[in-house]
Chains A and B, each alone.
Chain A
Amino acid sequence: MNKFYNMQNCKTMHMSPNNNAYIMNSDKNNMSHFPIGMSYVPWQNWQKIYRSDIALNRGTIFQELDLPFLGQEVI
């Protein structure tokens, strides 16, 4: 069990899609203790909730999950 990495601390990491490049090398994005070859999903927090009429149109109440496909990389 000691190989179990506490997923909670990956919440503190900032890998936001808005900046133009994810920080790829591991020592900069403090995920060095995570084994490669696995996928990790940052823990979601309750924030930025759309008004419900907007949410119905956008397909989510969570602004940070409102990620429309724009046909190209979002830069």
Chain B
Amino acid sequence: MDEKQQLMKKLQTADFALFDTVLYLDTHPTDQSALNYYDQIKQISSSIREEYISKFGPLTSCDVESSNMFSWVSNPWPWEVDA
């Protein structure tokens, strides 16, 4: 697993925990321990996302950072994994 795949896996792991927490908070909006965990995992997820984007390019069309080239259109697509 190269660094790109490792980072993607770390991002998927953090986002999975984040979304499960969101589902819980939908029905327990004032649960303080869940809110604390939510803050923590949200921070982890966004820092991994930033690292991935700066190293390997945009994950969505809204993540393009370079100002002279809309790098979203260049290969490979983020979901294209080398077999």
Residues of A within 8 A of B (CB): 44, 46, 49, 52-53, 55-56, 60-62
Are A55 and B28 touching (Cβ within 8 A)? no
With a cutoff of 8 Å between Cβ atoms, the chain A residues found around residue B17 in the complex are 52, 55-56, 61
- Interface Cβ pair total, 8 Å cutoff: 31
With a cutoff of 8 Å between Cβ atoms, the chain B residues found around residue A55 in the complex are 13, 16-17, 20
Bound-state CA distance A60–B14 (Å) is: 12
Residues of B within 8 A of A (CB): 12-14, 16-17, 20-21, 24, 27-28, 31, 33-34, 37, 41
Which residue from chain A places its CB closest to the CB of B41 in the assembled complex?
A52
Bound-state CA distance A49–B37 (Å) is: 10
Are B37 and A56 touching (Cβ within 8 A)? no
With a cutoff of 8 Å between Cβ atoms, the chain A residues found around residue B31 in the complex are 46
With a cutoff of 8 Å between Cβ atoms, the chain A residues found around residue B33 in the complex are 46
Closest 8 CB pairs of A and B: A52-B17, A61-B20, A46-B33, A46-B34, A56-B13, A56-B16, A52-B13, A61-B17
